[in-house]
């Protein structure tokens, strides 16, 4: 194996699990310290452009479709008729783009605290911001927790928490109190979805606690769906769905099978398969 030279490779080290992930870089394109986090963009040799926040990989051109499709489409096909959608976080706008592929959606509001992320996406990830001018889209740069606090009761069909890891600006998005407020603003039959970290590293900790807290917040059903994500710790990631007076372990299979959306990963078969958890995850959740 060749030596990893710092000037040629970006490496994210995940100390708590003794692992790291590296990409060979050709150029640093952006280095900005916003009011909230340190934002970098690199050109890589094989993964296109790379966005990094506080030293953690957020996305690359090559594989971001995996995450963006899975945080958006399972929730939208689980809800019976999604019209009003809210995204907390998601400043790169990739999730917004996926939600707007659904013609039945009437309005999508995205609330991200850091405008610098969206500015970077506009410059270096133009494909992700391609739908930002859709008349159904509303982009706000504000505190997502406060926005939820101020939102009317039962006013939203689908709530997507597209956050970074549960530290720093995103820490509050994983707390029981916040989940209760999310439950309040969802209509009956509403669906919430949250990125929920690595199945391999976090099934017995972050994911299990999130599922418990979602139920404590009043959601009657939860479902965790794992999927591949090569650039994230362990190469494997997850979303967790929660339903308000609806079962998130079922979805509109016929609609998911017959859609004409130009997707690269999500399919009715991928959705069905992701709902079938491997034994080690079922064991981690057995005491729920």
In terms of residue numbers, what domain contains 189?
Answer: 64-286
Is the pLDDT reported for residue 171 higher than 90?
Answer: no
138 and 252 together in one domain: yes
Cα separation, 88 vs 17, whole angstroms: 28
Is the pLDDT reported for residue 169 higher than 90?
Answer: no
**What total of structural domains would you count in the chain?**
2
176 annotated to a ligand binding site? no
252 and 115 together in one domain: yes
35 and 99 together in one domain: no
Show which of 17, 35, 60 is a domain's final residue. Answer: 60
SS3 76: helix
What CATH code is carried by the domain that includes residue 151? Answer: 3.40.50.150
pLDDT at site 234: 97
Cα separation, 62 vs 47, whole angstroms: 5
DSSP code for 252: -
31 and 126 together in one domain: no
* pLDDT mean across residues, the chain: 94
Beta strands 137-141 and 107-112 are parallel
163 annotated to a ligand binding site? yes
Beta strands 9-14 and 186-195 are unpaired
129 and 238 together in one domain: yes
102 annotated to a ligand binding site? no
Tokens 């939600």 sit on residue? 99
169 annotated to a ligand binding site? yes
pLDDT at site 288: 72
Beta strands 156-162 and 186-195 are parallel
Query: Can you spell out the DSSP letters for 200-268?
Result: HHHIIIIIHHHHHHHHHTT-SEEEEEEEE-TTSGGGEEEEEEEESSS-TT---HHHHHH-----SS--H
| 73: CB partners within 8 A, 6+ apart | 98, 256, 261, 263, 266, 271
245 and 120 together in one domain: yes
Give residue 1's pLDDT band: very low, low, confident or very high (50, 70, 90): very low
Q: Which residues are part of the catalytic machinery? A: 162
Is the pLDDT reported for residue 165 higher than 80?
Answer: no
- 104-148 pLDDT, tens digit per residue, is 999 999 999 999 999 999 999 999 999 999 999 999 999 999 999
75 and 125 together in one domain: yes
pLDDT at site 237: 98
pLDDT at site 175: 76
Strand (E) or helix (H) holding 176: helix 176-185
Cα separation, 12 vs 22, whole angstroms: 6
What CATH code is carried by the domain that includes residue 7? Answer: 2.30.140.10
Show which of 60, 81, 106 is a domain's final residue. Answer: 60
Torsion of CA 276, 278, 281, 286, to 10 degrees: 70
Q: Would you say 221 and 66 are in contact if contact means Cβ atoms under 8 Å apart?
A: no
78 annotated to a ligand binding site? no
50 and 124 together in one domain: no
pLDDT at site 143: 93
Is the pLDDT reported for residue 268 higher than 80?
Answer: yes
182 and 69 together in one domain: yes
| 109: CB partners within 8 A, 6+ apart | 85, 86, 87, 138, 140
Give residue 4's pLDDT band: very low, low, confident or very high (50, 70, 90): low
SS3 282: helix
Strand (E) or helix (H) holding 145: helix 144-150
- 178-197 pLDDT, tens digit per residue, is 999 999 999 999 999 999 99
Cα separation, 200 vs 288, whole angstroms: 18
Average pLDDT estimate for 191-216:
96
pLDDT at site 168: 56
Average pLDDT estimate for 44-71:
97
Average pLDDT estimate for 51-80:
97
124 and 27 together in one domain: no
53 and 68 together in one domain: no
Show which of 44, 60, 76 is a domain's final residue. Answer: 60
Rg (CA), the chain: 18
69 and 54 together in one domain: no
């Amino acid at each position: 194996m060749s030596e990893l030279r710092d000037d040629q490779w970006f490496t994210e080290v995940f100390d708590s699990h003794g692992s790291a992930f590296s990409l060979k870089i050709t150029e640093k394109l952006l280095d900005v310290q916003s009011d909230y986090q340190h934002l970098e963009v690199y050109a890589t040799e094989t993964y296109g452009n790379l966005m990094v926040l506080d030293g953690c990989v957020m996305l690359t051109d090559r594989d971001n479709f995996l995450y963006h499709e899975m945080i958006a489409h399972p929730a939208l096909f689980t809800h019976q008729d999604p019209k009003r959608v809210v995204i907390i976080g998601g400043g790169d706008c990739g999730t917004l783009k996926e939600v707007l592929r659904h013609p039945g959606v009437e309005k999508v509001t995205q609330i991200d605290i850091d405008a610098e992320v969206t500015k970077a996406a506009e410059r270096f990830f133009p494909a992700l911001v391609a739908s930002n001018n859709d008349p159904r889209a509303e982009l706000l740069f504000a505190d997502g927790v406060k926005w939820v606090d101020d939102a009317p009761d039962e006013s939203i069909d689908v709530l997507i928490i597209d956050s970074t890891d549960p530290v720093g600006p995103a820490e509050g998005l994983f707390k029981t109190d916040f989940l209760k407020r999310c439950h309040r603003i969802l209509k009956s039959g509403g669906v919430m979805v949250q990125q929920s970290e690595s199945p391999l590293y976090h099934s017995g900790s972050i994911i299990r606690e999130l599922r418990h807290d979602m139920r404590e917040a009043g959601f009657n059903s939860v479902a965790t769906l794992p999927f591949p994500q090569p650039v994230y710790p362990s190469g494997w990631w997850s979303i967790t769905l929660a339903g308000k007076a609806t079962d998130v372990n079922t979805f509109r299979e016929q609609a998911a099978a017959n859609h004409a959306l130009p997707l690269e990963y999500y399919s009715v078969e991928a959705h069905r398969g992701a709902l079938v958890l491997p034994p080690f995850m079922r064991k981690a959740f057995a005491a729920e």
